[in-house]
Amino acid sequence: MEIIKEKVAHDILLKAYRHMMLARAMADVYEENRSVTTYVHSTSRGHEAIQLATAYHLTKDDWVSPYYRDESLLMGIGFEPYRLMLQLLAKAEDPFSGGRSYYSHPSSREEDKPKIIHQSSATGMQAIPTTGVAQGIQYIEEFNLQQFDNNPVVVCSLGDNSVTEGEVAEAFQFAALHQLPVIFLVQDNEWGISVTKKEARTSDAYDYAAGFVGLNRMRVNGTDFAESYLAMKKAVDFVRTERKPMLVCASTVLIGHHTSGVRREFYRDETDLEKHRAKDPGILLKNHLIHDEGFDEKNLDEIEIQCRKEIEEAFEKAIKAEDPKAESVADHVFAPTPITEETGTRTPEGQEKIVMVDAAIHAIQELMWKHPEALLYGQDVGERIGGVFRETVTLGAKFGVKRVFNTAIQEAYIIGSTVGMSAVGLKPIVEVQFADYIYPGINQLITEISKSSYLSYGKFPVSSIIRVPIGAYGGGGPYHSGSVESILANIKGIKIAYPSNAADFKGLLKAAYYDPNPVIMLEHKGLYWSKVPGTEDAKTIEPAEDYILPFGKANLILEADESEMKKGRTMVVVTYGMGVFWAKQAAKKFSGRVEIIDLRTLIPLDETLIFERVKLHGKCIVLTEEQIQNSFAEALAHRISKNCFQHLDAPVEAIGAMNLPAVPINLILEKEMLPNADKLAGAIENILKS
């Protein structure tokens, strides 16, 4: 211990001891007041040393993602126990979530502390968003977009069993491949709730990480503060200087419960508990201070007493703090968007029509020329082919591999990394190659992206664009033809666009860029090039660079004749995407009697226009390409029925594809499954007769 005595200053050791006594007192007070601390929580007991050692090396320019046991880390970077307790008790002044999330689930932009993106409870899921922060910092440094007092270091804290998650592997892979300035701090207490390390893992994180070439590694005794402090100094200095990733595998102990709801006596015997208590970081540090540093035991005991008193007083104060107001429950689902009106020139004179895919290319190009914070990545979007539909062709050559680049086959990383990129002020535009492949990224979309603004109380809306080629045509088969809008529309906290023509596509993409919220652009593959018969109108005059089309504004693309309306002989078809062209073709058989609304965006939805026109006509069909049962279209039909009931002359009907698990590859079978203009015309005829 003599070497440690020379390297770790007394004031640091004493600071750590005080923080450990605060952590101990907090755990004890929470346990003694179980009738008050009713919301589920974990404490840092057994993990204090490595957490404090990490915190003490971080600066205001750094980023850290604590996990749910990291209250000591939070104290170490400057959050007082009282403020932590406000989250424990779900109070209105909870600095992280305004009473919406669990204890030790922080988010912070406070200027004098390391920044913290929204933290979820899903184990290991923070690895991708946090690696996205490091990816964003590397990009900022590459293009000199911001100056820092210190080269930023990003810390991602993980429990040992969470490393078995596949998404953690995606984060390790990307960090190692791109040499990102991130530290993966793995706290290994040998338990995953009631699952032991022998049941769950073939190796610890240190050995596991050996397979990720380029990911530097170290082991440390995470119960010994001095050793942890020196190790984390080495790790932080390395990443701050070398700008390369590091994994730190810290052995810890679990002295408290897994959570207040899953108590240690449920699954641990006394022998295991005693083994862990013997390595209590507070006791180890106290012994070191007395025997190796010459501190007076009575003074240390007095610190412990003072800490207990401080925690009791803070707890009583927190109990008395106000609860959130009920009317605040819906605040911060979305950040306010500046794009509320259609602006710019939609149809400039003297321009030729362009296909939808060119509208996308041109819109992104214009944005990237104007905004250095914009970048584009995904599978095969780079310079070689520019996307499997050539939807990003030329962009790689124009902007280079640092701004337009390929990723591995990692849908979770592609989607989830946008959380971190957005947090540091970038605007990622990413692509999932086919809608059928979005499912590996759904976890990130739901757990991290959609909840970030709401659970961070508006501090971290995720400003990103996720492009998703969608839909069936030409024998694409069961894994390249799917429609997924109903699944996506059930995720609260994201916006969804589904343009049907080039002008809308360009205007909506521009609106998505300037929107501070996450946007999914659903882009029908059959409309990209207008190769499908009947889709010629997907080509339009290209709007000017300044054209922006706001979300939530549907388009009345075909109106019924006034004379037919007065006779009660008309109806409205509400649709989007390819459905627009089936509707236009079918409407030709019913001259003047069919009105068509193109939704253009599914979230937000233009209910005002829909309800207004349905009330006017009294009859309605909602048309989708999706399998109809339990679909977005079916739900919309119900909503129309409820809001327009007194004005309806017939039930609102929802029409879509057959309820099959996939689109078959054979063209005859594909045609039989999908809706089309003829099938729609039959439905229109029946409803007009009613």
CA distance linking residue 604 with residue 453, whole number of Å:
16
Q: List the structure tokens of 240.
A: 């701050």
CA distance linking residue 370 with residue 375, whole number of Å:
12
For residue 441, what are the CA distances in angstroms to 125, 170, 285, 412, 449?
A: 11, 11, 43, 4, 11
Sign of the CA dihedral with 539 first, then 541, 544, and 548 last: negative
Sign of the CA dihedral with 423 first, then 429, 432, and 438 last: positive
| DSSP labels, 10-51 | HHHHHHHHHHHHHHHHHHHHHHHTTTT--S-----TTTHHHH
Query: Closest by alpha carbon to 549, among 502, 582, 596?
Result: 502
For residue 492, what are the CA distances in angstroms to 120, 336, 605?
A: 16, 16, 13
Residue with tokens 């099938």: 679
Sign of the CA dihedral with 383 first, then 180, 442, and 360 last: negative
Which residues does residue 574 pair with via DSSP β-bridges, in sequence order? 597, 622
Sign of the CA dihedral with 199 first, then 204, 209, and 211 last: negative
| DSSP labels, 381-414 | -STTTSSTTSTTTTHHHHH-TTTEEE--S-HHHH
Kind and range of the H or E run holding 489: helix 485-489
| DSSP labels, 561-579 | -HHHHHTT--EEEEE-TTH
Residue with tokens 């590459």: 142
CA distance linking residue 413 with residue 134, whole number of Å:
13
Count Cβ atoms within 10 A of the Cβ of residue 630 and give its class: 0-12 exposed, 13-18 middle, 19 or more buried: exposed
Burial readout 66-77 (b: 16 or more C-beta within 10 A, e: otherwise): bbbbbbbbbbbb
Are residues 593 and 571 in contact, defined by beta-carbon separation less than 8 angstroms? yes
For residue 83, what are the CA distances in angstroms to 71, 310, 545?
A: 11, 13, 48
Strands (E), 446-505: 464-470, 495-497
Residue with tokens 């899921």: 125
CA angle, 209 then 210 then 211, to 5°: 90
Residue with tokens 């240190």: 206
CA distance linking residue 113 with residue 110, whole number of Å:
6
Tell me how far the alpha carbon of residue 72 is from its chain's centroid. Answer: 26
Catalytic residues, which ones? 480
